[in-house]
Amino acid sequence: MQTVRHSERTLRTALISKNPALVSQYEKLDAGEKRLMDEAFRPDSDLFGPITLHSQSDWITSHPEAPQDFEEFFSDPYRKIPSPQKHSIYIQCIGQILKFLKKKKPEDAFCVVGITMIDLYPRDSWNFVFGQASLTDGVGIFSFARYGSDFYSSHYEGKLKKLQKSSSDYSVFDNYYVPEVTSVLLLRSCKTLTHEIGHIFGLRHCQWLACLMQGSNHLEEADQRPLDLCPICLRKLQSAVGFHLKDRYKALVRWVDAESTDTPTVTPKHSREDPLSLPKPVEAFKEWKEWITKCLAVLQT
């Protein structure tokens, strides 16, 4: 096991920059937001810690890439920025792929992200993929099928039947594996979806601190990655979208609490029941909610 630890000076430069205009922008944050961001520099912080590598197959070791600090993010001429005309993120449950999303993309969409419980195989010659995206078109599709705890131990029918009728003929999905909707699957899915949407906003893989935007090369590494952003990536997203940190964290707590249940609840195996009618399983989010509560305490001090 190896720890990737940066000096206080390096992290301060990555977050604040040496560019006078960006330093001035940072200084205009309110006192609570600066106090939370500055946690990045504290070696004993219990909110933001260093990246831990558990094996040689972890992302940073396997995929060397230059780190992206805030100044590089802010100055990137190719990153997409929401506008009054394109300000919405659409999440579409589908069985079809990118061309469908591009054709169906609403005019006010910043991006459209398709999610599916069906295993994805872009070509017959390929192994499975967790997702595909076109950042220039602002569309992507991601499969959460392999996030089910019983995926590798269950028998299922394999690939879908070829479409015989119309795109609205969902019989092609009959007898196909559908994972149980547990809190662990929901947590893994939230990590993947928010990580990929972060890329669409222009955030590259984080190499500064333990962060949602860390790359992951396998499921074990993805599970070790936190659901939250480090201060450097948080400032990038705040710059791109525009929000108060206190409002963001309060909204996240409301999302965890809304329609949640204190007892484990799962979708019956292979159920076609409308998931919107089921309680939201959030047992796996307990530690994350406690972390958000600590952040709010720092912001409100």
DSSP state of 274: -
Q: How many residues does the chain have?
A: 301
Q: Are 75 and 211 in contact (CB under 8 A)?
A: no
Answer yes or no: 259 catalytic: no
Long-range (24+ apart) CB contacts under 8 A made by 276-284 are 278/181, 280/186, 281/181, 281/182, 281/183, 281/186, 282/183, 282/186, 282/256, 283/183, 284/182, 284/183, 284/184, 284/186, 284/187
DSSP state of 158: -
DSSP state of 154: S
- Please report which helix (H) or strand (E) contains residue 196, including its range: helix 183-200
In the set 196, 259, 273, 283, the catalytic residue is 196
Q: Are 282 and 256 in contact (CB under 8 A)?
A: yes
The residues, ordered by sequence, that sit 6+ positions from 52 with a Cβ below 8 Å of its Cβ are 1, 2, 3, 4, 210, 224
Show the CA angle centred on residue 25, arms to residues 16 and 248, nearest 5°.
Answer: 85
Assigned token pair, 212: 């949602």
- Rounded Cα distance between 236 and 243, Å, is 11
Active-site annotation, residues: 196
